[in-house]
Amino acid sequence: MSTVTLTNPALSRMNKQQLVGTVAELQRRVRELERQDTRHRQDQNALRQQALILEQMSDGVIVTDLEGRIIDWNPAAERLFGYPKDEVLGRTPAFLHRPAEAATLTTEIVEDVARGERWSGEITVTCKDSTKRICEVIVVPFYNEQGQRVATIGVNRDIGDRKQVEKALREANESLKKEVAERKRAEQEAARSHTLLTEAVEALSDGFIISDADERLVLCNGKYREIYREVADMLVPGTTLREIGVAAARHCLGIEAPDDIEAAVRQRLILHRSHKGPIEQKLKDDRWILVRESPLANGWTVGVRTDITELKRRETALKASETQFRAMADDSPVIFWINDTDDRPVFLNRAAREFLGLSLEALPVQDFYDRVHPEDRERIRTLDRQSIEQREPRRYEYRMRRNDGAYRWLLEVGVPRLAPDGTFLGTIGSTADITEQKETQEALRQSEARFREIFDESPVSLWEEDWSPLKRTLDDLKQQGIVDLADYFQDNPEQLHQAYDALPVVDISQETLRVYRAKSKAELHAILGSAQAGPSEMAGFAETLEAFAAGSASYEYEAEETACDGTPIITQVRTVLPPRYRDSWSRVLITTNDITEQKRDQRALVQSETRYRELFEESPVAMLEEDWTPVKKFLQDLVAQGVTDIAGYLHNHPDKLGEIYEAPHRFGISQAAVELYHAASAEELRASMSQDAADPDELTGYANMVAAFLDGA
């Protein structure tokens, strides 16, 4: 028990009551200090119990007191940061943080913990050996049994490897997005040759069919209809594959029972949807058809039917086996892999293992170069070696044999995998199957080459232009309320010239060079533009815009132009919007026909006719110009009826004579004839030439004249 001695003079002057009160207060304070000392020992015991737990944790744990100084530091923290416990006790954790972040982080953490909240985040720390680590950190307040905060506990986990994997996944995803975008561009470009390819499809020696994502027929060629001739009348766009399948099962395959037909159709549709194949199909007339189908990126399916009857007959001793491509089933279509420093795989995702047909246990010793196409093998081996030696990213294309034996085009993208201290750990990357893209690019290249050859060698003058900028301009004018383009361009001729000059010329055929007497396309390009275009060309261009804006798909006009050698020419220009491009105007075809000679001949004919009419009208001799075609036909009909004496027949049939007298078409009467018959005008004279106005001698002479003409006079 403590004893208190009062020696202060001031206390000696206290009365007894004051003294008793002071002693009681001192005793209360002593008891409070004893209770605090007990709680402190209890807190220390609790902390020591927590420390025993912390010692066993795999994450680095830092315990700080209320002043933020380290009071405990578990072995995992020593391994993580490299500092022994005795070097950090009493220090604040700020020495681990980057100087620029230390103050902000400390304030943020202290404020959250003071509010009784947990703080979490990612912090880049500096270890004792100066290496950097990225740690996921959780800081929480620690309370005693009385609910008082007595310390702060921070848990630190190294997430450097996870960050590298996340980065690699992001890069792999970006690579995949780029490849998908490239494939879409290739598909859009391939659509540009659709019309030409449709014609080419008809020329194929194999049956060709396209069905949409709803399993309806889009098109098929004549060879396909010939192969399945029994159901040819059903092979029209819009017919479902099920409807065609039911009819073909009965009429082409010879299946009779309804249940068997249904089973056959169901099985065929399953194969169609899975794109398995090729398969061989035997028809009831003993013909064998090889069926091949491939999916398109838009969900459509392309099928090819090849008559292999002769081949099957030559292979009677062999039974052809169907090759089925094993579909790759994975959460992601991307092959993801991690290789060690010797470029051997230490991890392959499910898509990769299924592609190669390998188990996870076989990975460390597996060599994949024997699967690479012989033509690519040494190149890839060299590139891989250089990537490892130089610690450089890799990106290249090659062919690799899939587990089913098929070679596929692959795009491999990889980056070096580094430890936090920069140590090279190997390579991480992804591999995408780009076979369809390569095939599409090759098909597009061949199709474009065929189109350009036909275009360039066409006997018709052809221009190919892109009017999509002009379409956007006209749409903008329409949005502004301008509906009468003729008035607009008349009031704003500079806008018409600007539109004319803004049209990109994609290509020009050789016949076009001949029409414009150009030695090269460059020479012809040099004379294009509104500055060189004549009024008739600009007027025709404006009329074409008005027609297209009104919904027309073609327009034709004539223009006076000047060839490259300065020769004036007259052209007949026809501009056409192909059906697939009527919304965008991105492809416009123009034919130009040189009609200079035709126009010259027409003008010469008009001039000749004018001179003839002048001579006819001013002739001093009375002249009538008549068309006797009806008279000749009437007389020939009489001869066909057996009449031999034409003149006698007409004399005996005055009604028939009067009929042929009025039959000629009198389209020319000279002025001398008008004067001879004392008529006021040619019209009056023409009206008077009738049976009723003619005297008998005139009619008799007319009958003799036509009979003589019929006899060859």
Q: What is the pLDDT of residues 545-576, one digit of tens each?
A: 899 888 999 999 999 988 888 899 898 899 99
Residue 698, pLDDT score: 83
| Class in CATH terms, 458-600 | alpha beta
What distance in Å separates the CA atoms of residue 345 and residue 363, rounded to the nearest whole number? 6
- Both tokens of 614, joined, read 């002048």
237 vs 230: CA distance, rounded Å: 17
pLDDT score at 16 = 59
407-457: pLDDT as tens digits: 999 999 999 988 888 899 999 888 888 888 888 887 777 766 665 666 666
What is the 3-state secondary structure of 215-234?
CEEEEECHHHHHHCHHHHHH
Q: 171: helix, coil or strand?
A: helix
Q: Rounded to whole angstroms, what are the CA distances from 98 to 74, 95, 164?
A: 22, 8, 21
pLDDT 10s digits, 474-500: 899 989 998 888 889 888 999 989 888
For strands 207-211 and 149-158, give the pairing: unpaired
Region 193-314: CATH code? 3.30.450.20
* Domain ranges, ordered by start, for the chain: 59-158, 193-314, 458-600, 621-710
Name the band, by pLDDT with cuts 50, 70 and 90, for residue 128: very high
Work out the burial of residue 657: count CB atoms within 10 Å of its CB; fewer than 13 is exposed, 13-18 middle, 19 or more buried.
buried
Q: Is the dihedral of CA 329, 332, 335, 340 positive or negative?
A: negative
What pTM was estimated for this model as a whole? Answer: 0.34
CB neighbours (10 Å) of residue 327?
A: 9
Q: Are 207 and 220 in contact (CB under 8 A)?
A: yes
What's the pLDDT tens digit per position in 269-300? 888 888 777 888 888 888 999 999 888 888 89
Average pLDDT rounded to a whole number, residues 188-202: 74
CATH topology of domain 59-158: Beta-Lactamase (3.30.450)
- Judged against a pLDDT cut of 90, whether residue 139 lies above it is answered with yes
Q: Is residue 630 helix, strand or coil?
A: helix
CB atoms within 10 A of CB 608: 10
- pLDDT at residue 3 above 60? no
Closest CA to 523 of 586, 581, 565: 565
pLDDT at 508 over 50: yes
Q: Directed axis angle between helix 654-661 and helix 629-640, to 10°?
A: 150
Residue 27 clears pLDDT 80, i.e. is over it: no
Which has more pLDDT, 613 or 8?
613
CA gap 605, 566 in Å, rounded: 26
Whether the CB-CB separation of 335 and 349 falls below 8 Å is answered with yes
How much of the chain exceeds pLDDT 70, in percent? Answer: 88
Other beta carbons within 10 angstroms of residue 630's beta carbon come to 14
Q: How far apart are CA 144 and CA 49, in angstroms?
A: 12
pLDDT of residue 6: 42
Cβ pair 301, 275 in contact under 8 A: yes
Give the range with max mean pLDDT: 185-194, 305-314, 683-692. Answer: 305-314
Mode of pairing for the β-strands spanning 149-158 and 335-339: unpaired
Distance CA(213)–CA(300), nearest Å, equals 5
Residue type, 158: D
User: How far apart are the C-alpha atoms of 409 and 211, rounded to whole Å?
Assistant: 26
- What's the whole-number mean pLDDT along residues 75-98? 91
Does residue 12 surpass a pLDDT of 80?
no
Residue 606 pLDDT:
77
59-158 and 458-600 agree in CATH topology: yes
